[in-house]
Structure 1
Amino acid sequence: MTLMKVSSFAAGQWIAPGANARPIASAITGLPLAEAGGADLDMQAMIDYARNVGGPALREMGFHDRAKMLKALAMELGQHKQELYDLSFDTGATQSDHMIDIDGGVGTVFVFASKGRREMPDGKVYIDGEIEQLSRNGTFLGMHIATPLQGVAVHINAFNFPVWGMLEKLAPTLLAGVPAIVKPATATSYVTEAAVRIMLDSGILPEGALQLISGGTGDLLDRLGPQDIVSFTGSAQTASMLRSNPNILKNSVRFVAEQDSLNASILGPDVTPGTTEFDLFIKEVHREMTTKAGQKCTAIRRIIAPEAQVQNVIEALSARLDKTVIGDPRAEGVRMGALVSAGQKTDVLQKAAAIGSESKMVYGNPDDIDFEGDVDPGAFVKPMLFHCENPDTATIVHECEAFGPVSTIMGYRDIAHAIELANKGEGSLVASVITGSGEVAREVAMGAGAFHGRLYFNNATSMKESTGHGSPLPHMVHGGPGRAGGGEEMGGVRGVLHYMQRTAIQGSPDILTSISGRWVPGATEITGPAHPFTRKYGELSIGETLNTKSREVTLADIEKFAHFTGDTFYAHMDSEAAKRNPFFPDRVAHGYLLLSFAAGLFVEPNEGPVLANTGLDNLRFMKPVEAGDSMKVRLTVKAKTRRTDEYGEVRWHVTLTNQDDELVAEYELLTMNAY
C-alpha cells in the first residue's frame, strides 16, 4: 500500500514530509496509512508571508467581501464532501460522525458568511456599541471600533474533528480579516490536508490567507508578536505548556484555549422513568458516550441523577448501550467506530482504571474485544459506565477525563446538591439539564452558570428541534472557564471580534463619521442634487440630508386619527385627564400620527429607486406635540449596506422637531434601494 504523504503548505509552496516523518496508522486496521512532518519548515517565512501578503490582501476586502468569500469556500467544500468522508473512515469515524465533523464544519462556514453579511457593516471598520456623548454640545464624542489584528492567527487543533475543528476557527478569523496558519493533530492531519487543498485549489482565497503545518510547529511560537493570536484545542497539560512560552508571555500574545472538560448532564428531579424526558435523557447520554467513540470535548463525562433514579438510569442506559453495534465504521449497521489510535486506547484505559479506583464499573469490559468486521482491535474499545457512590468525597471523577466512551453516574439529594456536583469539575464547556421545570432551570442557571460555558436545557417541548448536548453551534459561544481553558470561540460576531482590536475613538462628529463610515449626528450634512428618494443606492452619499417644510398639527388631525385607528387613549381625547398626567400639558398628538405625517413630509410619491420601507429602529419620542404645534423633518443618510447585486439597504437618521426647533422624535428608517 502506498503511504499518503501529508504535506505542509508554507509561504505559498507545498512541502512534502521529511526524512523523520511520523507514521500514521489506520484506526480500523492498524496498518500504516500515511506519514506527516519531518520537513524543515521556515517558520519565520510563514509568519512573514501571512503578515505581509495574506494580511494586507484580506484587510483590503470589507466584511461583506470576506463573507462572500466564506460562502464560496463553504460551497466548494460541500462539493467535495464524499472524498473527505472516504478519508475520515480511517480515523475511526462513522458516517454519522462525518456529518458532525465535515457537514458541521461546512455549515459553520455558511453561518459565519451569513452573519458577516447580515450583522456586520459593508466596510472595513466594525462599530462596537453606541456613540458616547463626551461634551455638552456634542462637538466632542466617543465611540468604540474594532479593526483586524495585523498579525497571524495560529490554530493548533485536536485530532477528533479534523475538518470542523479547523473551520470553526478559520471562518471567524478570515471574516475578521486575519490570515491563519493551521496546525492539525498529526493523527488525523491527512483529512485536514485534503480540506485545505480543496480550499487552496479553488482559488477563492487570496495568497497568504491560509497556510498548513502538517507536523511539529518548531520555533513558531517563539517568533510571534503582540499582533498575533494563538487558538489552541487539546489537553490542559499541552495548553499550559504552550501558554507559558516565554515569548507568548513577553509579547502578551493573545492565547485562546479550549481544553479538558468534565462536562455533566443533570436529570431533573421532576423527571421519572416512563416519561418523555427520561427517555430523552438516556438518549442524550448514550449519544454523547458513543458519537466519535466518546472522543468529543463536549461529551458527557459525569451523569448526575436523583439518588432514587440512579439504578433506573444505569439499567436504561445499559440496555441502550447493549444495542450499539461497534466495529468497522464503513460497515452497514455499525454505530460506533474506533478510537483514533492504539495509543489513545491505552490512555483511555489508564484513565478508566483511575476512575475505577473510586467508582464501580456497572457496564462494560475493557477486555472485551469482539467487534464487527475485519478490524484490528488495537484501537477499539467498548463503552464503560461507572457508578460513583460517594461523589462528595470522590476526587478522580471530578478531575480525570478518559477521552473515550467512558462516563460516571452519581446521585444527588436535591438540585442544590446537583449543582454542587456539576461545579466540582471546576469549569466545563457544557452542562445539560433535562427538566420540564422552569424553577429548576433558573436555579441551575444561577448556581452553575459561572462554571460552564454553555447550559443546555431540553424537555418534551424543545426536543424535536434541539441540537443536542454535545453540539457547539456557530451562533453560540463555545468555550468555558477554569479547567475548560477560559477561552471562547464562535458565538457569531463575538468570535470574529477575538481576532480584532477594540479601540476607543474620540473626536468631532465629522472625524467619527470619516473613521466609521456611518454618519454621526452633528457631522456635516450634504445637500444632494435632487430628492434622495429619486436617487439610486450608489448615488447616495453618507451625510446627504433632506430638510422638509413644516406642517401644523391640528386638533382635528388628532381626533380624526384617533377615530380612524381606534386609538382613543385619554391623553389624546380628554383634556383634563391629560393635564393630570405628569408627561402631558394637554391633549397631545399620537406618536404614530407624527410618524405618519413625517413620512408625508419626506416621501417622494412617484415610482423610483426606493423599493420598500423595511422597518424602523431606535424610535424615541422626546417631547409631546399639542394641537397648534408644527413639525418638520430632517432625513439623513446614516449608513449603506449592500444586500444583493440589485439593491442595498439605506439606513436614514430621522429627526422630528417642532416650531421651536426642539427635538420631538428620533428614529432610524430602513429602506431597500435599487442600484
Structure 2
Amino acid sequence: MNATSDLRTRAAAALGRCGVDLPDGGALAVTSPVDGTELARLPLHSAEDVDVAIGHAARAFEQWRDVPAPVRGRLVRRLGELLVEHKSDLAELVTLEVGKIPSEAAGEVQEMIDVCDFAVGLSRQLYGRTMPSERPGHRLMETWHPLGVVGVISAFNFPVAVWSWNTAIALVCGDPVVWKPSETTPLTALACDALLRRAADDVGAPDGLHHVVLGDATVGESLVDDPRIALVSATGSVRMGRLVAPRVAARFGRCLLELGGNNAAIVTPSADLDLTVRGVVFSAAGTAGQRCTTLRRLIVHRSIVDTVVERIGKAYSGLRVGNPFDEGVLVGPLVSEKSYEAMRSALDRAAADGGVVVAGGERVDVSGNGVYVSPALVRMPGQTEVVQEETFAPILYVLTYDDLDEAIALHNAVPQGLSSSIFTLDQREAEQFLSRSDCGIANVNIGTSGAEIGGAFGGEKETGGGRESGSDSWKAYMRRATNTVNYSTELPLAQGVEFG
C-alpha cells in the first residue's frame, strides 16, 4: 500500500489488529491532517454515559486498591508486552491522526513501553519511611495508599504517551482511570483501551479499571466536577488550566496540570555549533512545532548570532515538508487550518514589531487537504508581546544577548516555565544556568524536547506545576498517611503533655 492509499482502510486495519471494530457512524468525525481524509465517525458519550463510566471505575477501585501493588504491576507488565506486539499498529494510528513522521510516532509508542517498564519496577518500590519517635516504645512512620479514580484529559499532540504516563503509574498505585482523549485523536485512544482491557483479561484484573469517554469540553467538565474523580490530570492550554484548576479545587479534589510551554535555548560563544544546530533544528521543527517542549525562542550571543542564524537557516532549507508517509519527509502537517491561521497571525505581529523572517514561514503545497508549512526562523529586535506567547506552530524567534545574566533574564521573562536548555562548553555557564532557569526541565547541550521517562516531566509558572512519568511522580496518584504505633504498656503524650 503506497503513501497515497486509502488512509481510512489503513486506520481500520490497524484498529482491527488491536481488537477494535469501527462503529458504523456517529457525530464525531475523525479526519487525518495528512490529507483531510475522514478516517471514521464515532458516537459521542452523553453526560449519563460519563456518569456510568465513573461509577464503574469507582466500584473497581474498591477491589483494585486491596490488590497488592506487585500484583497490580502484572497488569502493566502485560500491557507493555501488548504494546510491543502492536507498536507498528499504534504508530500508524498516531501518524494518521496527528501527522507525525513514522519515526516520531514509533518513538511515542516506545515511550509507552518504557513507562510500563518503569511502572512495573515501581510496583515494588512505593516506599514510605520510618521516623524516630520522641516517645519510648512507639514507632512513627508514613505509608502510601491508593488515591481513587484518576481522570485523564489529554491533548492531540501526544495522543498515547501522556495517557500511558498517567495510566501505567495510576494502575500500579491502585487507581482506575477514566480517559477523555482529544476529539482529534480518538482512534488511538480506542486502540489503547482495547489493549489494556485485553491485558486485564489476561491477568484476571477486575472489570472497570479503564474507560474511554469521547466528546467535547462538556465531557471533560464532567470529570472535572465529579467528586468521585480523586485526581484530574489534564494536559492542554493555559486557558484550559485556568478553567480546570479552580473547579477541582472548589470540591477539594487534586489537580495535575501540564499546560503551555514557551521554551528557550541559550547559545553561548563557546558552544559546539555542529551539535547546537542539530539540537535546535529538531527541537524547533520536530512534530511541525506542535510539542509542548518545542523550542520557540533562541537566545544567542551577539558575537555569533549571524553565524548561528545562517547555519540554522541552511538546515531549515534542507528540511523536507510533506506527507509523513513519504520517504525522507521530516516535517508533517499542522493539525488544522486554525493552527496555520494562528501561525500566520503571529508572523504578522512579529513583522509589525520589527521582526524579520529569514527562513520559512510559507504554506507548502502538498496533495490533498492537509495543512503544511515550512518552519519559520525569525530574527527579533527584542522579546515583544508575541514572543512571550506560545504559538503552537513551527516558529523560532531569535534574540541576542551580551552577557549571561542578560540571557537568563530574557529566558525567564515569559509566563511559561516548561523546558529550557543552554549550549555551552563552559562549566561555570552551565551550572549557573541550571541553578537559575525557572523551568521544570533544564538541559545542557541538548535541545528542549525529547524528555526521557525516568525524570519527572512538568513545569512551573503557567505550565501548571504538575509532574508526570518518572522520579517520585507516583506520589500524586496516592495518599499519604502518618502512622504512630504504640507497642509499649504506657501512654505518653507527645510534647510532654500531661492529661489526667
TM superposition score normalised by structure 2: 0.87
Find the counterpart in structure 1 of residue 469 from structure 2: 490
CA distance in 2, matches of 1:409, 1:194: 41
Match of 1:326 in 2: 321
Q: Distance in 2 between matches of 1:77 and 1:43?
A: 26
Alignment correspondent of 2:243: 241
Query: Is the contact made by 2:363 and 2:372 (CA closer than 8 Å) also made in structure 1?
Result: no
Secondary structure at 2:304 match in 1: helix
1:295 aligns with 2:290: yes
- Displacement of 1:227 after TM fit? 6.2
Instruction: Answer yes or no: is 1:471 the counterpart of 2:450.
Output: yes
Distance 1:102 1:510 in 2: 54
Q: Which residue in the other structure is 1:254 paired with?
A: 254
2:173 alignment partner, one of 163, 171, 176: 176
**Is 2:316–2:360's contact at 8 Å kept on the other side of the alignment?**
no
Aligned partner letter, 1:289: A
Question: How do residues 567-646 of structure 1 correspond to structure 2 at under 5 angstroms?
Answer: none
In structure 2, the CA distance between the partners of 1:359 and 1:100, relative to structure 1 (3 Å rule), is: farther
Distance 1:456 1:333, change over 3 A: same
Aligned equivalents of 1:281, 1:200: Cα separation in 2: 44
**Match of 2:400, SS?**
strand
Report the CA distance between 1:156 and its aligned residue: 0.3
Q: Which structure ranks higher in relative contact order (CA pairs < 8 Å, sequence separation ≥ 6)?
A: 2
Secondary structure of the equivalent of 1:332?
coil
1:489-535 Cα distance to aligned partner (Å, 9 max, x none): 1233x121101111211222589xxxxxxxxxxxxxxxxxxxxxxxx
Q: Give yes or no for the alignment of 1:396 onto 2:386.
A: yes
Amino acid at match of 2:418: L
Output one character per residue of 1:383-412: Cα deviation in whole Å (capped at 9) or x when no partner.
Answer: 011111223xx23212x1111211111011
Q: Which amino acid aligns with 1:395?
A: E
Q: 1:367 to 1:439 in 2, by over 3 A?
A: closer
Distance change (3 Å), C-alpha of 1:442 and 1:108: same
Give the direction of change, closer, same or farther, for the CA distance of 1:390–1:183 in structure 2 (3 Å limit).
same
In 2, distance between residues paired with 1:187 and 1:197? 19
Aligned partner of 1:47 in structure 2 is 54
Instruction: Tell me, in whole angstroms, the C-alpha distance in 2 between the residues paired with 1:233 and 1:37.
Output: 23
Counterpart Cα distance in 2 of 1:17 and 1:505: 55
Q: CA deviation at 1:285?
A: 0.9
- Give the Cα separation in 1 of the matches to 2:32 and 2:277: 32
Say yes or no: does 1:87 pair with 2:93: yes
| Residue-pair matches, total | 468
Note if 1:187 corresponds to 2:184.
yes
> Is 1:289–1:404's contact at 8 Å kept on the other side of the alignment?
no
Task: Determine the C-alpha separation between the residues in 2 that align with 1:509 and 1:209.
Answer: 39
Change (3 A) 1:60 1:301: same
Counterpart of 1:341 in structure 2: which amino acid?
S
Amino acid at match of 1:134: E
- 1:196 paired to 2:185: no
* Structure 1 residue 153 displacement after superposition: 0.5
Q: Is the 8 A contact 1:226 1:253 kept in 2?
A: no
Q: Identify the residue that residue 317 of structure 1 maps to in structure 2.
A: 312
Paired with 2:317 and 2:181, the residues of 1 have a C-alpha distance of 34
Q: Which residue of 2 aligns with 1:452?
A: 439
Contact 1:17 1:37 in 2 (8 A): no
Indicate the residue corresponding to 2:336 in structure 1: 341
Q: How does 1:388-537 map to 2 (within 5 A)?
A: 388-391=380-383, 394-398=384-388, 400-448=389-437, 451-458=438-445, 469-492=448-471, 494-509=472-487
Look up the match of 1:34.
40
By percentage of residues, which structure has more helix?
2
Between Structure 1 and Structure 2, whose CA radius of gyration is higher?
A: 1
Determine if contact 1:388/1:408 at 8 Å carries over to the other structure: yes
Corresponding residue of 2:371: 379
Partner of 2:493: none
Which range moves more in the overlay, 29-38 or 90-99? Answer: 29-38
What fraction of aligned residue pairs are identical, expressed as a percent?
24
Structure 1 counterpart SS, 2:450: coil
Displacement after TM superposition at 1:426 (Å): 2.9
What's 2:230 paired with? 228
Q: CA 1:456–1:367 in structure 2 vs 1: closer, same or farther (change >3 Å)? A: closer
List gaps (5 residues or longer) in structure 1. 6-12, 121-125, 272-276, 459-465, 512-675
Shift in Å, 1:17 = 8.6
Of 128, 142, 149, the residue aligned with 1:152 is 149
1:219-275 deviations in whole A, cap 9, x for unaligned?
523652276110010111111112232xx233211111111110111113422xxxx
Match for residue 162 of structure 1? 159
What's the counterpart of residue 641 of structure 1? none
- Assess if the C-alpha contact under 8 Å between 2:92 and 2:105 holds in 1: no
One-letter amino acid matched to 2:300: A
Q: Would you say the 8 A contact 1:70–1:171 is kept in 2?
A: yes
Three-state SS of the structure 1 residue aligned to 2:364 is coil
Equivalent-residue separation in structure 2 for 1:455 and 1:37 (angstroms) = 42
Q: Which of 106, 113, 119 is 1:99 aligned to?
A: 106
Quote the Cα distance in structure 1 between the aligned partners of 2:177 and 2:222.
13
Say if 2:57 and 2:208, in contact at 8 Å, map to a contact too.
yes
Shift, 1:452, TM fit = 0.5
Pairwise CA RMSD = 2.5
Match of 2:139? 141
Indicate if the aligned counterparts of 2:340 and 2:371 stay in contact, CA closer than 8 A.
yes
SS in 1 for 2:283: helix
Matched AA of 2:376 = M
Shift of 1:328: 0.8
CA contact (8 A) 2:87 2:106 kept: no
Report if the CA contact (8 A) 1:226-1:251 is conserved. no
